């Protein structure tokens, strides 16, 4: 049997340190082992079934979180409790959502009566029940209704619909995740969760069901995850990590790297590698170079990473290097596979099955 080594991997490529990833999964599972709150890992961070299966097997989880219907379609064969933590409003996607509810407990976020009606119509047409969380704006100012009375009104509309089931509320304190100072992050997260939990209590006091209060992310898992009333945390990036989260005081290791090859050294203080922004996102800043003292990414072009190095650097054409991406989710989305590595050995090639945007699973048939 042939053994594949990291030197055999064609670049640019994404590699995953399986040992570091395993420790990240175990650390998060251990945190949620005790207490009322559980983990619902966010699949969008890696879009890879092999990783999701390992997260589920580690325990302390109630299911998976997905960002899109296409992601939910990928995880449905091995996960029976799925939250699409996003608004789904178009008829085609609502029909696909309802189809998933035939075999899995399918929950979706709603923040408008129009969205509710679209989901309910698809559910009724398929003869299934879709579970609903009212999406509450807890400060990120993206999706979500206002906490309090506005959320209550939508909850009443959900409860009045025969085709959907009101399960509770969700709110994502995304604006809090990157805060570097622990005290500031704690204060902001607790303020965000205060509005979410209070809204859940208002809904319950009005005689409506509200058993689920879903929130959180990697940057606030141990803050929001310990707020009384929060029942689940949707963390995702922790499993692979990136340099943006790496700035924070989090107990997780970098497990994901962009592997590149030096293709040019046009001057003593500059090398060019083949891992540009088609291989590594830069929306949260430029990536960093792993393990090479003095090497700094100066810029990313389509196919090239320009890296400044000390004049006495021994890097030469043909050498390999690793970049630590600043944002894991969109970086993974650029690749078809992840190379799972243990030291220098490649122990698996994992398909990033949910990358990109999918239409119907069988594909569109053009006239």
Return d(Cα 228, Cα 147) in angstroms, integer.
Answer: 17
Return d(Cα 345, Cα 197) in angstroms, integer.
Answer: 47
313: DSSP letter: -
Report the Cα–Cα distance between both ends of the chain, in Å, rounded.
47
What does pLDDT average to in each consecutive run of 10 residues of the chain (367 residues)? Answer: 88 98 98 96 98 98 98 98 98 97 98 98 98 98 98 98 97 96 97 98 98 98 98 98 96 98 98 98 96 97 98 97 98 98 97 85 46
What was the pLDDT predicted at 360? Answer: 54
Q: Are strands 256-267 and 288-289 parallel, antiparallel or unpaired?
A: unpaired
Sign of CA dihedral 137, 174, 222, 333: positive
What was the pLDDT predicted at 359? Answer: 64
Nearest to 96 by CA among 70, 128, 74: 70
pLDDT per residue as tens digits for the range 35-92: 899 999 999 999 999 999 999 999 999 999 999 999 999 999 999 999 999 999 999 9
Query: Is the pTM of the predicted complex or chain greater than 0.85?
Result: yes
pLDDT per residue as tens digits for the range 290-305: 999 999 999 999 999 9
What was the pLDDT predicted at 363? Answer: 46
**Dihedral over alpha carbons 58, 287, 174, 188 (to 10 degrees):** 100
Nearest to 50 by CA among 330, 329, 350, 349: 350
């Amino acid at each position: 049997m042939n053994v594949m080594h990291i030197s055999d991997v064609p670049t640019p490529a994404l590699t995953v340190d399986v040992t570091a990833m395993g420790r990240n999964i175990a650390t998060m599972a251990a945190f949620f082992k005790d207490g009322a709150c559980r983990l619902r890992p966010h699949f969008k961070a890696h879009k890879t079934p092999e990783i999701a299966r390992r997260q589920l097997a580690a325990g302390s989880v109630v299911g998976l979180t997905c960002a899109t219907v296409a992601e939910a379609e990928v995880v449905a064969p091995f996960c029976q409790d799925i939250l699409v933590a996003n608004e789904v409003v178009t008829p085609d996607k609502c029909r696909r959502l309802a189809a998933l509810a035939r075999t899995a407990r399918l929950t979706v976020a709603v923040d408008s009566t129009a969205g509710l009606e679209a989901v309910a119509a698809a559910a009724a047409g398929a003869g299934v029940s879709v579970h609903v969380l009212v999406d509450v704006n807890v400060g990120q100012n993206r999706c979500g209704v206002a906490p309090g009375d506005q959320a209550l009104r939508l909850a009443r509309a959900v409860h009045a619909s025969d085709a959907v089931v009101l399960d509770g509320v969700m709110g994502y304190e995304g604006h809090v995740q990157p805060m570097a100072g622990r005290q500031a992050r704690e204060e902001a997260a607790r303020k965000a969760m205060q509005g979410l939990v209070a809204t859940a209590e208002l809904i319950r006091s009005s005689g409506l069901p509200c058993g689920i209060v879903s929130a959180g992310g990697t940057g606030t898992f141990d803050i929001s995850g310990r707020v009384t009333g929060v029942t689940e945390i949707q963390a995702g990036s922790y499993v692979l990590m990136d340099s943006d989260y790496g700035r924070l005081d989090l107990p997780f290791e970098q497990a994901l790297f962009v592997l590149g090859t030096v293709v040019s050294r046009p001057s003593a203080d500059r090398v060019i590698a083949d891992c540009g922004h088609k291989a590594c996102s830069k929306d949260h800043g430029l990536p960093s170079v792993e393990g090479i003292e003095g090497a700094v990414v100066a810029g990313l072009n389509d196919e090239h990473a320009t890296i400044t190095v000390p004049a006495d650097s021994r890097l030469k054409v043909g050498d390999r290097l690793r970049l630590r991406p600043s944002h894991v989710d969109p970086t993974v989305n650029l690749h078809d596979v992840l190379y799972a590595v243990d030291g220098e050995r490649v122990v698996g090639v994992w398909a990033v099955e949910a990358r990109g945007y999918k239409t119907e699973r069988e594909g569109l048939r053009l006239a």
